[in-house]
Amino acid sequence: MGMKFEKIHNKGQAQLFQNHYMEMLTKTHPLVIWGMYIPVIIYFLYLSQVRFGMGYGGIFGVFIGGMFFWTFFEYLMHRFAFHAVGESERAKKFIYVMHGNHHHFPRDKERLFMPPVPSIIISSVIFGIMFLAMKEYSFAFFSGFILGYLMYGSVHYAIHAWNPPFKWMKPLWRNHHLHHYKDDNKGFGVSTTIWDRVFGTMFNLDKEKEDKEKVRELMYK
């Protein structure tokens, strides 16, 4: 069962909380998140080399591994957490706050990235788990993971803002557009379609016709 709304709003944004300050905490600009995490990435890579003595090749390999792991994490979260079916009203509200509002108001630019406060809390927990599992390797791995997240958010923004800049990127664009207006039980990959292809949730783009009017409704103005 997907996210079904009586009307998809092409203007404005959802009101998630009655409290003004809580509502402010649900919004952010992409550059704020980039500015928040780039120094962390640089510092963690520095620690990997200077404090833990990792070679450049090792850092690069672990870093790329972290980026690749992000794509898998992104797919799992989008499919099984953000599109979970809530039974209680509280669960439905949580899912709507986390992701449902994006389907309801796809032109809302301020809620594509996780806002700073919840982002810091969640990323800290994720790093803690990585550190317990990987020790000193976690710093380079987490750096790649976070860069993967930043690229995911930026690609997501681009998909809703512009036409694909290269022909080979069009399947990625179409897969996400179809996820919005055709069937939100498919097309969970945003930064890549790899895992949709692996797990059989990729749209058959050869058979699916593009509804240009519905695509325009998803694009920022």
The pLDDT tens digits of the residues spanning 180-195 come to: 888 999 999 999 999 9
Q: Report the mean per-residue pLDDT for the chain.
A: 90
Structural tokens at position 48: 């990997």
Confidence category of residue 67, pLDDT binned at 50, 70, 90? very high
- Are the C-beta atoms of residues 161 and 177 closer than 8 Å to each other? no
In this model, does residue 15 exceed pLDDT 80?
yes
pLDDT digits (tens, 9 = 90+) for 113-133: 999 999 999 999 999 999 999
Angstrom distance (rounded) from CA 2 to CA 165: 30
This model's pTM is above 0.85: yes
Q: What is the pLDDT of residue 20?
A: 87
Angstrom distance (rounded) from CA 6 to CA 214: 15
100: DSSP letter: I
Angstrom distance (rounded) from CA 198 to CA 165: 25
Phi, psi of 202, deg, nearest 5: -80, 135
Q: What is the pLDDT of residue 49?
A: 97
Burial classification of residue 82, based on how many CB atoms lie within 10 Å of its CB (0-12 exposed, 13-18 middle, 19 or more buried): middle
In this model, does residue 7 exceed pLDDT 50?
yes
Q: What is the pLDDT of residue 2?
A: 56
